[in-house]
Structure 1
């Protein structure tokens, strides 16, 4: 059958015809970790280019950039996924670090850093100040999205006594995730 000129012509056409770009991209995006990695690397390179550019007021080297990314990673991976108990006999709250590292991950309490540390000659202070800025924005912009308040067009369950809530305290240092339990509620005039 391989000697059949008709079959050979069709086989060559199938082998040499390039695939369309969009189906190939879809296939790679859904199956290839390398494709996903290349997208992430492109994002990281753009971030580094922005941070390392001559017009940036902050000057980083690779080591300082790596330290900052480790601090950001620690903030993101230390958030509790399960309720935190005050009882010392209870298990520790589950965090992403438990799943990634198989332990809680050790984080030391951060020092106190001020805005003048952003231009400090001590590079470690500069990186720590930027990590504090990330924590502040994370707390202000992301954590507030976890409890969005929308207009009540549909009846939804309100918080009830016994519910677990994230307590927002601007005075706490980074990586502190205080959770609280609602003890009592006082409904407003609309009974909500």
Structure 2
């Protein structure tokens, strides 16, 4: 991995603040996280290419548009639609992240690294999209119309659903901790701790 040097150049016409945000996000997800996952493991060119390609599929699966109110409508466009004409899905449904490397063949070792990337990305990056500092200060709550990622510990992150908030359920203290969502499966009721906000309607 250390034999190849990559230099990334960014041209963003909308202003420096957007360029900085995009470049920081790209560096965090595509450079920093893979280094943490690979560590000191020696990989061949084909193996590192496989790993980076699957990470690209992860990053290129994020929606570019807002969900429709109709769950029967097509899914939002992602960068994958512009690359191959359809969404990029993670075909790796087997979780190797808890297995030891000893005895694994090289392909399973790469899949373990991809699983570890998914876990770190979902825990460290997605959680930053909707930070809540408990008991310190009041933060803006989810509002009707917000688009969110619905966390599900039982399926790979690449298959997590997108949903739109259609109803808030406030508790006795007038604080919303549960919302009703509309997604392609219909209506779901989820706690806000299992949601990551993507965008707010303009």
Residue 91 of structure 2: which of 86, 92, 109 is its match? 109
What residue is the counterpart of 2:48 in the other structure? 65
1:92-126 CA deviation, whole Å, 9 max, x = no partner?
31112234x16224435213133335334421111
How has the CA–CA distance of structure 1 residues 66 and 83 changed in structure 2, closer, same or farther, with 3 Å as cutoff?
A: same
In 2, Cα distance between equivalents of 1:136 and 1:142: 10
How has the CA–CA distance of structure 1 residues 102 and 30 changed in structure 2, closer, same or farther, with 3 Å as cutoff?
A: closer
What residue is the counterpart of 1:145 in the other structure? 128
How has the CA–CA distance of structure 1 residues 141 and 157 changed in structure 2, closer, same or farther, with 3 Å as cutoff?
A: closer
Give structure 1 stretches of 5+ with no counterpart: 1-28, 32-39
Residue 122 of structure 1: which of 105, 129, 143 is its match? 105
In 1, Cα distance between equivalents of 2:146 and 2:64: 15
In 2, Cα distance between equivalents of 1:30 and 1:175: 26
How far apart are 1:140 and its partner, in Å?
A: 0.3
TM-score normalised to structure 2 length: 0.57
Structure having greater relative contact order (Cα 8 Å, sep ≥ 6): 2
In 2, Cα distance between equivalents of 1:191 and 1:60: 50
In 2, Cα distance between equivalents of 1:73 and 1:143: 16
Aligned residues, how many? 144
How has the CA–CA distance of structure 1 residues 185 and 69 changed in structure 2, closer, same or farther, with 3 Å as cutoff?
A: same
Of structures 1 and 2, the larger Rg is shown by 1
